[in-house]
Structure 1
Amino acid sequence: MESETQGISSLPSGLGVFTTVPDVFFIPELVFGGLVWILVASTNVLLANPQGWVMFVSVLCFTFTFLWFLLFMFGVNQSSPVWISLDVACHGIAALFYMSASVAQAFATITFQNNLFLFNPYQENIAAVVFSYIATMLYVIHVVFSAYRWKTS
């Protein structure tokens, strides 16, 4: 019973989300994930292009991170000790998805860099690769600190 009470109170709510180490990464994840979404959306996506997966991952992770952030802000996470393990699972899946999307975006950038027949801005694709790897790094850091919080609660 002691660990359940301790686990519930170890998650922040309200403005406390901006002061705890793993949860402070919500905003940078949203910013860099949104940048990936915008940059990939502004390029031509072909049928045989893996950028469709990148768009899916960036939109999905942006949406779920935003909803997760709102749940933390409104204190919904205070109702059960399950939220700590859900936080680890959610950000772990997002980190794996973003890693695969980063590799797919890098592959698409390399593959279509010399294609003169398509309007495919190379610099935007490079920026999307960089921002997707930054988003991946942020999700990995978030899941590591969330796992540490889960382990110590």
Structure 2
Amino acid sequence: MATNTGQMGYLPRGGAIFCTIPDIFYLPELVFGGLVLSLVASTYLLPYNPQAYVISVAIFCFVVTFLWLLIFACGSHHNRSSWASADVAYHGFAALLYLSASVLLAYITIFWDIAVGRDELIYKLDVAAVVFSFLTTLLYVIHTIFSAIRWKSF
């Protein structure tokens, strides 16, 4: 059974996006990003600004990644290097946003637990959100690296 994982300079269409690297990372990015969003939203949003930033990043990346997945799945792109470069640019930007949100969320989780002291469930939810946020950052970084490799092959 042949897949498109070895072809360079190829932007997949339709179901092929679930068989090619880096596009295979779309679904885990959506799942982990959704987990970050739901975990942060289920805790106390104190302090407001940092938590609101984390939720904003999670919503933005979830929606845009889903739209990007639909563009590739529907075949709306035309095998041009401009789509490959836009893919690298978006995933690099998303990785940077998630990294900043992850660091901020980890800082707030540590600081808020020490300063105020939370109940055990809220703290566990915040820790889980931090872990999934860093995993989502890692997925976006890996996607960016493989997208850059594909972009260079055009």
Gaps of 5+ in 2: 1-7
| Structure-2 residue corresponding to 1:145 | 146
| Structure-1 residue corresponding to 2:108 | 108
Could you tell me how far apart the structure 2 residues matched to 1:38 and 1:131 are? 11
Query: Which amino acid in structure 2 is aligned with residue 20 of structure 1?
Result: T
Residue 20 (str. 1) matches residue 20 (str. 2): yes
Kept in 1: contact 2:36–2:58 (CA 8 A)? yes
| Structure-2 residue corresponding to 1:30 | 30
Please give the residue correspondences for 1:3-152 in structure 2 after superposition, counting only pairs within 5 Å.
7=9, 10-78=10-78, 80-114=80-114, 115-116=116-117, 121-152=122-153
Query: Which amino acid in structure 2 is aligned with residue 11 of structure 1?
Result: L
Q: What fraction of aligned residue pairs are identical, expressed as a percent? A: 51
Residues 152 and 80 from structure 1, CA distance in 2 versus in 1: closer, same or farther, beyond 3 angstroms?
Answer: closer
Could you tell me how far apart the structure 1 residues matched to 2:136 and 2:47 are? 25
Kept in 2: contact 1:44–1:120 (CA 8 A)? no
Could you tell me how far apart the structure 1 residues matched to 2:45 and 2:95 are? 23
Query: Aligned-residue CA RMSD in angstroms?
Result: 1.9
Residues 45 and 74 from structure 1, CA distance in 2 versus in 1: closer, same or farther, beyond 3 angstroms?
Answer: same
TM-score, normalised on structure 1? 0.89
